[in-house]
Amino acid sequence: MVRHCELCKAKRAALVRPRNRQQVCKDCFYTAFEEEIHQTIVDNKLFNRGDRVAVAASGGKDSTVLAHVLTLLNKRHDYGLDLFLLSIDEGIAGYRDDSLETVKRNETQYGIPLEVVSYKTLYNWTMDEIVKEIGLKNNCTFCGVFRRQALDRGAAKMKAVKMATGHNADDVAETILLNIVRGDIARLARCTSIITGEEGALPRCKPFKYTYEKEIVMYAYFKKLDYFSTECTYSPNAYRGFAREFIKDLEAIRPQAILDIISSGERFRIDSTAKMPEQGLCERCGYISSQKWCKACVLLDGLNRGLPKLGITRTRGKGLANGVENASGGGKLASKDDRSPSKANIDF
Amino acid sequence: MNKLGFRLTAQWCLLLWLIRPRSSDYRISFHFIVVRSNFRAARLGVRRADDMHLTLEFGGGLELLFGSQKKHEVEVTSPDDLKEVTMESLLSWIKDNLIKERPEMFVKESSVRPGVLVLINDSDWELCGRLETVLEENDEVIFISTLHGG
């Protein structure tokens, strides 16, 4: 039996939409998918006319679809955005070098320029060299902390005023659960915001916050978009993996659960007596930080001094501060006057 | 396809052509009937629940579990001489005959691992009954993982 699209009633249905179990054909799906993202952008005022926006591009499914949809909507609805692709080269042979090829093809496919920033030039370490030093445990900590900062630096260098990332609804739901499990109140409070870091130099936004991963993959598949899907050669984050699997199990039973977790997360109000970390600027590099030195500087300092465990073990406060104070700082020091208390920025 | 199959198909085609609906709205379902009767005839003539030819495709990183080969042309035998090959029996066939490594990345209990999308002839398997879907000769089944990084 052929099922017809519930919207146009003419064409053959191609998929079931997870948000409402509606059965739609390819064309109606494209329209609904794109226009819902447009609505999210408009309702949340993610961009202003004339903004120069960095699209964080890894070559994976989410960022490839993001680059495609943003260039399309920019033309269709005349946002007047100056878009460019921003990629990070972590220096992982057999993984990032291949996915960068995909991003380079995207550059020509979507007609927007590409900027690549490498760990090697920023930190003088590639991930391959870091793994040689520290082994396969905790390497994701280094990579995550460095990437976040590298994206900000790349965007600043290219004079972007905003950055768009491909985080989707499944990612956001997963992060909410992880922050609950970890009891990380500060991150729990801010991980649901569609725009983060507005107080800082470079706000980040998630146009796919309410977009199901299933639909992103279906869209990429039906539109034959060119994306890269190999797992990183270094071991993935196991803890996050469990949360991911749990979300997918929930989705299989009741797909609405994903949007419901996000909506619960948005409605959390943090107890006013809860102590939140004060955010300031890193004394060494000027990047936003809740400690004296930002995480990237602590990790980098450990690497350079041959003490790579520094900053990984969870000795908060004293241990960390001592480590930093003893460090022979070689970086640029921000003057004390530059320290402006600004709220939440670090997220994953 | 053998002679009987061909004749049956030809007869059906002729019959359906004669009684074809004139409105263009029916074109899709009309085409569908012809194709389906074609397969049935072929199965009546040649095969008795023996091998069924299917095209399988693995994407989104799943191909790594199948020797990095995306497309596989396979002849699937239905289990226990049952007449039909369902998605459920196809999955257990893949698990026993095709997958090269880490089956737990692909199947969980009797179904695919949550987060793996399935398309049968280019449409979502949620439209046609998931595990109970009965497959036909030459059907194309695509598995795409959503679990790899973005």
> Between chains, do A166 and B150 touch, taking CB under 8 Å as contact?
yes
> Between chains, do A213 and B146 touch, taking CB under 8 Å as contact?
yes
Alpha-carbon distance of A155 to A84, in angstroms, equals 10
Give the annotated binding-site residues of A for ATP. 56-58, 62, 88, 166, 171
Between positions 58 and 97 of B, the ones with CB within 8 A of A are: 59-61, 64
pLDDT value at residue A310:
73
Q: What's the rounded mean pLDDT across residues A145-156?
A: 92
pLDDT value at residue B22:
60
End-to-end CA separation in angstroms for chain B: 44
**In chain A, which residues have their Cβ closer than 8 Å to the Cβ of B141?**
none
Q: What's the rounded mean pLDDT across residues B54-63?
A: 94
Identify any residues that bridge with B134 across adjacent strands, giving them in sequence order. Answer: B86
> Between chains, do B148 and A60 touch, taking CB under 8 Å as contact?
yes
* DSSP code for A4: B
pLDDT value at residue B14:
66
pLDDT value at residue B78:
72
Q: What's the rounded mean pLDDT across residues B14-24?
A: 63
Contact B137, B53 (CB under 8 A): yes
DSSP A178-237: HHHHHT-HHHHHHTT-SEE-SSSSS-EE-TTTT--HHHHHHHHHHTT-----PPPSSPP-
Q: What's the rounded mean pLDDT across residues A134-158?
A: 89
**Is the pLDDT at A264 greater than 80, yes or no?**
yes
> Between chains, do B127 and A13 touch, taking CB under 8 Å as contact?
yes
Query: For domain A15-267, which CATH number applies: 3.40.50.620, 3.60.21.10, 2.120.10.30, 3.20.20.140?
Result: 3.40.50.620
Q: pLDDT confidence of A345, banded at 50, 70, 90? A: very low
Q: What's the rounded mean pLDDT across residues A247-256?
A: 94
**Is the pLDDT at A329 greater than 70, yes or no?**
no
B104 touches chain A (CB under 8 A): no
For chain A, give every residue range classified as CATH 3.40.50.620: 15-267
pLDDT value at residue A342:
36
pLDDT value at residue B38:
47
Q: Give A315 to chain B, closest Cα distance, Å.
A: 30
Task: Pick from A3, A12, A211, A229 the residue to mutate for testing the B interface (most B CBs within 10 Å).
Answer: A229
pLDDT value at residue A41:
98
> Between chains, do B124 and A16 touch, taking CB under 8 Å as contact?
yes
> Closest to B61 (Cβ–Cβ): which among A15, A230, A251?
A230
pLDDT value at residue B16:
65
Average pLDDT across chain A, whole number: 86
pLDDT value at residue B149:
55
Task: Pick from A6, A8, A15 the residue to mutate for testing the B interface (most B CBs within 10 Å).
Answer: A15
Weakest mean pLDDT among A12-26, A287-301, B12-26: B12-26
Specify the 3-state DSSP secondary structure of B75. strand
Average pLDDT across chain B, whole number: 79
Q: What's the rounded mean pLDDT across residues A86-102?
A: 91
Q: What's the rounded mean pLDDT across residues A247-264?
A: 95
pLDDT value at residue A236:
61
**Is the pLDDT at B115 greater than 80, yes or no?**
yes
Between positions 52 and 111 of A, the ones with CB within 8 A of B are: 58, 60-63
Nearest to A51 by CA among A150, A151, A148, A163: A163
DSSP A262-308: HHHHHH----TTS--PPPEE-TTT--EESSSS-HHHHHHHHHHTT-T
End-to-end CA separation in angstroms for chain A: 45
Determine if residue A337 is left, alpha or beta; phi over 0 gives left, psi from -120 to 50 gives alpha, anything else beta: alpha
Contact A287, A331 (CB under 8 A): no
**Is the pLDDT at A328 greater than 80, yes or no?**
no
Alpha-carbon distance of B40 to B28, in angstroms, equals 18
> Closest to A58 (Cβ–Cβ): which among B117, B127, B149?
B149
Tens-digit pLDDT profile for residues A315-326 = 444 444 443 433
The interaxial angle of helices A127-134 and A295-304, nearest 10 deg, is: 70
pLDDT value at residue A281:
86
Q: What's the rounded mean pLDDT across residues A302-306?
A: 87
**Is the pLDDT at A239 greater than 60, yes or no?**
yes
> Closest to B124 (Cβ–Cβ): which among A14, A170, A249?
A14
Q: What's the rounded mean pLDDT across residues A94-114?
A: 92
Strand blocks (E) in B2-139: 51-59, 71-77, 85-86, 107-108, 111-112, 116-120, 123-124, 134-135
Which residue in chain A is spatially nearest to B111 when comparing CA positions? A252
pLDDT value at residue B6:
63
> Between chains, do B127 and A3 touch, taking CB under 8 Å as contact?
yes
Going by their DSSP bridges, the two strands B123-124 and B116-120 should be labelled as antiparallel
Which residue in chain B is spatially nearest to A246 when comparing CA positions? B114
